[in-house]
Amino acid sequence: MHKLSTIKTTASSRDQTRADLLFRGFTALCAIGLILIVVGIFIELLMNSWPAIKKFGLSFLVSQKWNPVPGIEEFGALSSIFGTLATTAIAMLIATPMSLVIAIFLVELAPPRMAGIVGGAIELLAAVPSIIYGMWGLFVFAPFMQDHIQPFLGEVIGGPLFEGPPMGIGILTAGIILALMILPFITAVARDVFLMIPNVVKEASHGMGATTWEVTYKVVWPYCIHGIVGALFLGLGRAIGETMAITFVIGNDHSISASVFSAGTSIASTLANEFTEASEPIYLSALFELGLVLFGLTVVFQIVAQLWLRRLRKSTGGRA
Amino acid sequence: MKPRSNWTRRSINFMVMAVSTLSSFIGIAVLVWVLYEIIYRGIGAFNWDFFTKLPTPPGVEGGGLANAILGTVVITALATLIGVPIGLFAGVFLAEFGLRSKLSGPVRFVSNILMGTPSIIIGVFVYAMLVVTVRHFSGYAGAVALAIIMIPLVARTTEDMLNLVPDTLRESALALGVPRWKTTLDIVFKAAKKGLLTGSLLAVARVSGETAPLLFTALNSPYWPGWLNKPTGNLTVTIYNYAMSPYTDWQQMAWGASLLITLGVLFLTLCARFLLQEKK
């Protein structure tokens, strides 16, 4: 009797080892699935853009021509790349100071109950889909830009940067909408970074007679700078590939102009607009190559951001 | 350095604080403005027909977006069925077996890359994989695209949530002779249940408002979704098409759809938040 039960346990424990191995293998398979997807994206983009890469070579990246007429097609990504970088730059210029200021307001100034409500609202706004910002941009904000902001900027500042008729849509409008979209996101992350500082440190500085601004600038800021830069990288990564918020208001024009009032296009909005219309294989291939460029840009940003965060984790010696 | 007088320090402080408060209010006011317009313009489109009827051509009264509402629900549900299990078990691998595996570093790295990949690129990828090969757009392709977006999100939250479960719990289960797989599924999952549900809900909320990955996969359609093997109507692409059209009644529909999708996403996000708070 005793012997029998021993045999039984060993048999079942062997089964159990097998089941454990199977379970482990299954989870590993799911994890490998992630790697396969990313490698798959790269390979599909590369394969499909190969005809365009072969035909246009490096000139694709520096040419401004975008002519899909069959027979005399010529494709260059420069206008799309320019639009992507210009709108992202405008968005970061606006969103960076604003989100930091709002985060400081929430952590240092606002009464706790208000900070809770406003902070919660901002986190909810980060969840609003981008097409909603696009709708609002097209129907509400673009007319507002046309009637108020653009004429004002044109008259008061002027110069080549703010030149041309106020059309409402264009690079500047797209950049502002993009800023609004990433604002809640960066604010939420920046607030969490600010909150990581031990209260004792702040209390000690206040106890020495420092003003709130001095505490923020000289004590909190040096503590947080790495985390903030990480938050900005994340926001930048969002802005650079954002599609729907921009497509509505950028104007979708393959030209490069110094004025931020003029219509332009970004890689993502070119894809959104022209992908289903591309009839010729070489046209489609050029669009795939645009996708490859965008994928490459985001991967580079991701790698830089991750290296940065890893260094941060090492320097703070813990999770950040 | 000459020490600043108290008065200067105080006035600098006051100015910075004033600017900071003011810009906070501007930023928050603009965000409220966005929400206000969506509600104000969207609520007018809501009526019985909007939720029950098929779309009509521009100018014809009484159409609705019932097919697009159903399409979005079905595509999102299918995406959840594909994306959540894969993401969940990938997260299990990272949290439970990742410590001693050479695979976990690359998987984490790639998962971050995928999280940062623009959704339109995922649309283009699925187009090349599933649309070109079968030569037509389909709801399936849309669901796969959304699932791909969900996988890294779910994997990340699963890993974080499982890491919160104390190791002593695992050790005591293993010491009782419970096999590893059972420990994970019955004991660790139970301890992390709310966190896992929150992560999945947030991922669903995130993809249910996505437009770009559906543009070249599910496309859009004025008919009922059927078996998803054809272009499938959905709310977000409908918003895009209708908003870009010159017809005011279609634009009105687009506002209604915008409000509906916003309410849906916010509801899911609030549910997730509520769940997480209950835990504490």
pLDDT of residue A5: 41
Q: Flag if B34 and A128 touch (Cβ within 8 Å).
A: yes
Average pLDDT, stretch A128-137?
92
Q: Looking at A58-131, which runs of residues are DSSP E strands? A: 66-67, 74-75
Q: What is the pLDDT of residue A6?
A: 42
CA distance A237 to chain B (A): 6
CB-CB contact of B177 with B234 (8 Å): no
Residues of B in contact with A276 (CB under 8 A): 215-216, 219
Q: Domain limits of chain A?
A: 2-56, 66-316
* Domain assignment of residue B201, given as a range: 51-279
**Stretch A264-286: mean pLDDT:** 90
pLDDT greater than 70 at residue A47: yes
CA dist A213 and A303 (Å) reads 34
Interface predicted TM-score of the whole assembly (ipTM), two decimals = 0.90
pLDDT band of residue B32 (cuts 50, 70, 90) is confident
Q: Are A247 and A138 in contact (CB under 8 A)?
A: no
pLDDT recorded at residue A315: 67
Q: What is the pLDDT of residues A10-22, one digit of tens each?
A: 446 677 788 888 9
Mean pLDDT of chain A: 86
Of the candidates B111, B118, B255, which has its C-beta nearest A298's C-beta?
Answer: B118
Tokens of B117: 């990949």
Give residue-wise pLDDT tens across range B160-178: 999 999 999 999 998 998 8
Distance separating alpha carbons of residues A126 and A117, to the nearest angstrom: 14
Among candidate residues B205, B218, B183, the one with its CA nearest the CA of residue B264? B205
| A23-27, A122-126, A181-185, A242-246: least confident range | A122-126
> Quick one: average pLDDT of B122-150?
92
The mean pLDDT value for A68-90 works out to 89
Residue B216 counted as domain residue: yes
* Architecture of the domain made up of A66-316: Orthogonal Bundle (1.10)
Which residue from A184, A173, A207, A74 is spatially nearest to A118, judged by alpha carbons? A184
Chain B positions touching A47 (Cβ under 8 A) are 128
pLDDT at A278: 82
Residue of chain B with shortest Cα separation from A17: B179
Question: To the nearest whole angstrom, how far is the Cα of B154 from the nearest Cα of chain A?
Answer: 12
Q: Nearest CA of chain A to the CA of B186: how many Å?
A: 13
Give CA–CA dist B62/B54, Å, rounded.
9
Characterise B246 by phi-psi region: left (phi > 0), alpha (psi -120 to 50), beta (else): alpha
Mean pLDDT is highest, among A155-164, B78-87, B108-117, for B78-87
| Rounded Cα gap, residues B168 and B160, in angstroms | 17
Option in B9, B27, B265 nearest A128 (CB): B265
The chain B residue lying nearest A310, using CA atoms, is B109
What token pair was written down for B125? 């990828």
pLDDT, mean of residues A162-166: 81
* Rounded Cα gap, residues A67 and A293, in angstroms: 19
Query: Which amino acid does the sequence have at B65?
Result: L
- Kindly report the CA angle at A268 between A264 and A270, in degrees rounded to 5? 55
- Chain B CB contacts of A105 under 8 Å are 20-21, 24
Task: Say yes or no to pLDDT of A7 above 50.
Answer: no
Reply yes or no on whether the pLDDT at B158 is more than 90: yes
With beta carbons under 8 A apart, name residues in chain A contacting B17: 109, 212-213
Question: Which amino acid appears at position A293 of this protein?
Answer: V
Residue position matching structure tokens 């954002």: A242
- Smallest Cβ–Cβ distance between A104 and the set B10, B20, B244 belongs to B20
Contact (CB<8Å) A28/B27: no
pLDDT at A53 over 70: yes
Question: What percent of chain A is predicted at pLDDT more than 90?
Answer: 38
Among B34, B158, B164, B188, most A C-beta atoms within 10 A, so best to mutate, is B34
Query: For residue B97, which residues of chain A lie inside 8 Å, CB to CB?
Result: 24, 27-28
Say yes or no for a CB contact (<8 Å) between A101 and B24. yes
Average pLDDT over residues A98-114: 86
Q: Is residue B24 part of a domain?
A: no
Which member of B20, B35, B113 has the closest CB to residue A109? B20
The Cα–Cα gap between A33 and B92 comes to 13
CB atoms within 10 A of CB B194: 16
- All residues of chain B having their beta carbon less than 8 Å from the beta carbon of residue A281 are none
Of B17, B27, B124, the CB nearest to A213: B17
> Is residue A297 scored above 80 in pLDDT?
yes
With a pLDDT cut of 70, the percent of chain A lying above it is 93
Which residue of chain A comes nearest to B177, CA vs CA? A13
Q: Over the range A17-28, which residues count as b (16 or more CB within 10 Å of their CB) and which as e?
A: eeebeebbeebb
Question: Is B28 contained in some domain?
Answer: no
pLDDT tens for each residue of A181-237 = 999 989 988 998 888 888 888 888 888 888 888 888 888 888 888 888 888 888 898
Residue A309 and residue B258: Cα distance in Å, rounded? 36
- Encoded amino acid at B268, one letter: L
Tokens for B151? 């996988």
Q: What is the residue-wise DSSP string for chain B? A: -PPPPHHHHHHHHHHHHHHHHHHHHHHHHHHHHHHHHHHHHHGGG-SHHHHHS----TT-TT---HHHHHHHHHHHHHHHHHHHHHHHHHHHIIIIIGGG-TTHHHHHHHHHHHHHS-HHHHHHHHIIIIIHHHTS--HHHHHHHHHHHHHHHHHHHHHHHHHHS-HHHHHHHHHTT--HHHIIIIIIHHHTHHHHHHHHHHHHHHHHT--HHHHTTT---SS--TTSSS----HHHHHHHHHHSS-HHHHHHHHHHHHHHHHHHHHHHHHHHHHHHHH-
By CB atoms closer than 10 A (0-12, 13-18, 19+), residue B52 is exposed
- Residue A46 corresponds to which tokens in the numbers above? 């590369």
Which string of DSSP letters, residue by residue, matches A272-299? HHHGGG--SHHHHHHHHHHHHHHHHHHH
Average of pLDDT values for A252-281?
Answer: 88
Subunit contact B24:A241, Cβ cutoff 8 A: no
Task: Confirm whether B161 is domain-assigned.
Answer: yes
CA distance A48 to A59: 18
Give yes or no for a contact between B98 and A24, defined as CB atoms under 8 angstroms apart.
no
Domain-located, residue B15: no
The predicted pLDDT at position B221 comes to 83
Band (pLDDT 50/70/90 cuts) for residue B279 is low
**Does the distance separating the beta carbons of B31 and A180 come in below 8 Å?**
yes
Q: Tell me if residue A72 falls in helix, strand or coil.
A: coil
Average pLDDT over every residue of B13-40: 87
Q: Compute the nearest-CA separation of A294 from chain B (Å).
A: 8
What is the tally of structural domains in chain B?
Answer: 1
Q: What is the pLDDT of residue B168?
A: 92
Instruction: Answer yes or no: do B209 and A213 touch at CB < 8 A.
Output: no
On whether residue B63 sits in a domain, the answer given is yes
- CA–CA min distance A32, chain B (Å): 7
Give, rounded to a whole angstrom, the gap between the first and last alpha carbons of chain A.
58
Report the CATH number at residue B174. Answer: 1.10.3720.10
Judge whether residue A4 has pLDDT over 70.
no
Task: Spell out which residues of chain B touch residue A120, defining contact as CB-CB under 8 Å.
Answer: 273
Q: Is residue B35 part of a domain?
A: no
> Which range among A96-110, A136-150, A177-191, B77-91 has the greatest average pLDDT?
B77-91
Residue B152 lies in a domain: yes
pLDDT tens digits, residue range B235-254? 999 999 999 888 888 999 99
Q: Are A41 and B125 in contact (CB under 8 A)?
A: yes
Contact between A24 and B251 using a beta-carbon 8 Å cutoff: no
- A261 vs A257: CA distance, rounded Å: 9
Q: Which residues of B touch A134 (CB under 8 A)?
A: 240, 243
Using the beta-carbon criterion (under 8 Å), do B101 and A30 form an inter-chain contact?
no
* Contact state of B128 with A121 under an 8 Å Cβ cutoff: no
Count Cβ atoms within 10 A of the Cβ of residue A218 and give its class: 0-12 exposed, 13-18 middle, 19 or more buried.
exposed
Given B24, B110, B184, which is nearest A105 (Cβ)? B24
